[in-house]
Structure 1
């Protein structure tokens, strides 16, 4: 069995595609990855990247997207209408593969014509629904909009305010692709995404499988608390969070910031400090946090990220639109409890008051309550059994059997 995964970028830290690729290899599957760019060494044949010309096209596509979306309503997040893309259907990894997994392939990597070329090969093409884009007219999360259940058009993200806008045009292109080929399959990493996919008109009568994302085995509880980022001190409680895309409308950082400010106003006998990893955490934001902040910057290895989790007493995710945040799975595997909103696929990972705390949607007050609850009750993070490697890979094997 030969599998090839298509993914915009391949890196060694927090990459769900590489994690699945490694899991498949450990279970006897001949797996490979083809990306637009990769941080892996060139002599790793199983993880390959495309050449300069596809990357130049990607750079140009980024500029086109920025121009097309300059007047978008940013409140509803990103909108992707792929213009440029690369035909990878004749690449050696594709030619020798039995099954093709399509992960996140936007950003000028693949466009609709690229996907058509792959579908024409007749091989099973498995789309992994890491967000909602595959079955919408171009948005990555629809928030309250349910037009994807019928026909997209007059999109809330776009400024045109007309029925036949880019969302309508892309919707019709996808409809033509999905209706023409019967070798297309879809994997939803969360039950929440599965429900959305099954209600989407573009995926009507399509085979949709629910398979959770796997978690890298590099994440685990360490024998003792590391001192790489914060010197261990039993008198302090460390609240952690990730800072990537801090201004994203999906991440809800304003609710987390307000929760921290609420904690700062409370008269409780807990000495809080903050540990943040990632990027884009400005000095202005740090000044708004009422506690001492330890900022690691962007961490490039899973070993470092694991050390960061193990330095925390609780990890907070304030996402308001999310599928199955990898950071939650990583934190729980490190046995650090997680506080997050009851939305998207988050409730599928967090058992309320058992391995973390599910806060009321968009309630900073309840987010703060959740942090205090986990700390005062010494809640221990624990990965639920359905996310363990054995169960995840078993579902992929069942998928292979079904599409033979």
Structure 2
């Protein structure tokens, strides 16, 4: 089978943007490649969406489109790359095309009626953007059920200057109406949104959680992992993603840690941005790893962790939660997101009311005080990860959706 994965970039987020599927598919004898808006790797697993010699004119035009769309408050409507995709040799040869993250201002969903008529099409929804008038996450807003008019949150990413969320919504409805799509979501939470969406409920939706290499992402010797990072082995390590913004809940992590007793033997371990936890510097020792490069380094991060703190305000899945579970680490998360489902709360983690830092602190402290509870919860998280997050199982299920899409597309052509 010849398979094309379409995505914004080939290296960033490769575990969920189709990049990790490429070597697996090739090992099974399939011809698989990513077609991307921005190619960063040097290997042959990805190609630019726009073939030479149209690439540079298309990129120049895309910059102009970006300025125009911002000015008139529409989003991902006018970009030319998607309309040039059918001229790409990889697309021409493909038996099935699998779209991933296509809303990063390089791809027009208005091309879907044409693209899905040409090739059997699968689309993995990595966030709710496809069902809204402009935002990536609607939080508690229910406007996506009724047309996004008026929009009370123009500032939600992707922010728009004028209230034309209703227009984006109508344009999506038009494009989807004439498209043939098989949808994939990674969580039951996301599946529920799609099934309630007036835009996307017309399509078959398949719930397939992401997979991991569970031989690599696995429990290890915590004392050795802590020593490797220069962390005292007698301290309880609380890890978190240090990232500002409306989604990841960093402010709630900081507040919860501030509420912990000062005598708690806690060491805070962070990844991604640095210098965002200065208010805790006098209370706890902090190790900031910055951007983590590669899976092996991420495994070291979780093997050194005793409690993973992930109070995201909005997620569609939460890769770090499954990485923690695979490494036998319980997560503490907010409800109202997919994370309780993903980290197997209450068996493999703890979920508390969204936005409640006091409850978050209490949950963390309960795991600090009770080592047996912490270890049993981590052990159960690993057991459930083995049952749900094996990569071979994930990829095999994806292949079954490809077969369904190809079969439906071939039968549709008979009419």
Q: TM-score, normalised by structure 1?
A: 0.85
Q: How does 1:5-404 map to 2 (within 5 A)?
A: 5-11=5-11, 15-17=15-17, 18-41=19-42, 44-50=43-49, 51-56=55-60, 80-86=75-81, 87-121=84-118, 123-158=119-154, 165-181=163-179, 183-216=180-213, 218-223=216-221, 225-226=224-225, 230-243=229-242, 246-263=243-260, 266=261, 270-279=264-273, 281-282=274-275, 285-288=277-280, 290-375=283-368, 376=370, 377-379=373-375, 380=378, 381-382=381-382, 383=385, 385-403=387-405, 404=407
Larger helix proportion of the pair: 2
Q: Which deviations, in whole Å up to 9, do the C-alpha atoms of 1:310-338 show, x marking residues without a partner?
A: 22111111101111011111121222221
In structure 2, the CA distance between the partners of 1:171 and 1:56, relative to structure 1 (3 Å rule), is same
Q: How much has 1:386 moved relative to structure 2?
A: 2.1
Q: How much has 1:272 moved relative to structure 2?
A: 0.7
The SS at the match of 1:241 is: strand
Native 8 Å contact 2:334 2:352 kept in 1: yes
In structure 1, the gaps of 5 or more residues are: 70-78
Q: How much has 1:394 moved relative to structure 2?
A: 3.5
The SS at the match of 2:269 is: strand
In structure 2, the CA distance between the partners of 1:286 and 1:153, relative to structure 1 (3 Å rule), is same
Q: How much has 1:274 moved relative to structure 2?
A: 0.8
Q: Which deviations, in whole Å up to 9, do the C-alpha atoms of 1:280-328 show, x marking residues without a partner?
A: x335x32345312111111222222221222211111110111101111
Instruction: Tell me, in whole angstroms, the C-alpha distance in 2 between the residues paired with 1:294 and 1:62.
Output: 39
Q: How much has 1:222 moved relative to structure 2?
A: 3.7
1:73 alignment counterpart: none
In structure 2, the gaps of 5 or more residues are: 50-54, 156-161, 408-415
Q: Tell me how large the CA RMSD over aligned residues is.
A: 2.7
Instruction: Tell me, in whole angstroms, the C-alpha distance in 1 between the residues paired with 2:268 and 2:72.
Output: 38
Q: TM-score, normalised by structure 2?
A: 0.83
Instruction: Tell me, in whole angstroms, the C-alpha distance in 2 between the residues paired with 1:301 and 1:56.
Output: 33
Q: Which deviations, in whole Å up to 9, do the C-alpha atoms of 1:147-203 show, x marking residues without a partner?
A: 2223222112227xxxx942111111111111113x222111111111110110012
Q: Which deviations, in whole Å up to 9, do the C-alpha atoms of 1:191-233 show, x marking residues without a partner?
A: 1111110110012321111111222454333456336862253
Q: Which deviations, in whole Å up to 9, do the C-alpha atoms of 1:67-111 show, x marking residues without a partner?
A: 667xxxxxxxxx945443412121111111111111111222211
Instruction: Tell me, in whole angstroms, the C-alpha distance in 2 between the residues paired with 1:198 and 1:100.
Output: 23
In structure 2, the CA distance between the partners of 1:253 and 1:92, relative to structure 1 (3 Å rule), is same
Instruction: Tell me, in whole angstroms, the C-alpha distance in 2 between the residues paired with 1:67 and 1:296.
Output: 39
Instruction: Tell me, in whole angstroms, the C-alpha distance in 2 between the residues paired with 1:305 and 1:332.
Output: 13
Native 8 Å contact 2:7 2:100 kept in 1: yes
Instruction: Tell me, in whole angstroms, the C-alpha distance in 2 between the residues paired with 1:165 and 1:13.
Output: 31
In structure 2, the CA distance between the partners of 1:336 and 1:56, relative to structure 1 (3 Å rule), is farther
Instruction: Tell me, in whole angstroms, the C-alpha distance in 2 between the residues paired with 1:385 and 1:49.
Output: 36
The SS at the match of 1:201 is: coil
